Amino acid sequence: MPTAARLVAAVLLGIMGLIISDMIKTVMPEYTQFGYFSYVNIILGALCGWYVVGSRVGQGMVTAFSNGLTGMGALVFWGLFAQAANEMLRLAYMRRYDGPFEALVSIFQIMADFGQNLLHVPIIGAMLAGGIAVGIAAEWVSTRWT
């Protein structure tokens, strides 16, 4: 059921996806080709906001902290998975794998490699603060417009 809280959570987590994407671009090597990186993360952020954060509102402000952090965690996981799967497909087209199982296993290895780029204090701080802010904003809208 569409609600204002789901819409707010989707929009704000989508914006956080864009902000975090731009922060990640600054720590990556200069030769990195990003393509649709930011767009994919915006869409994933909106989906995580709608389904993860927006579906759990209405339980109080204390729970809003964990809801926002859960939504941000889901965004990080699905963002890493999507970007790693894209990289695996790029490498598979270049015939870097001996079989399909090796290609599928490499997604998780690539996720771990890409995840190391997130281990910077400003990025972690932005993810924590943004997740909490999204959770609180969605909860506020839920209590205000219900």
Separation in Å, CA 140 to CA 8, 42, 61, 63: 10, 22, 8, 12
Please state the rounded mean pLDDT for residues 83-93.
93
Phi, psi of 42 (to 5 degrees): -65, -45
**If you search the block for the tokens 């809801």, which residue do you land on?**
67
pLDDT digits (tens, 9 = 90+) for 15-37: 999 999 999 999 988 888 888 99
The Cα 120–Cα 129 span in angstroms is 14
Q: For residue 65, give the nearest of 110, 132, 5 by alpha carbon.
A: 132
Report how many domains make up the chain: 1
Task: Give the domain extent around 12.
Answer: 4-144
pLDDT digits (tens, 9 = 90+) for 35-57: 899 999 999 999 999 999 999 99
Q: What angle do CA 21, 105, 75 make, to 5 degrees?
A: 25
* Mean of the per-residue pLDDT values of the chain: 93
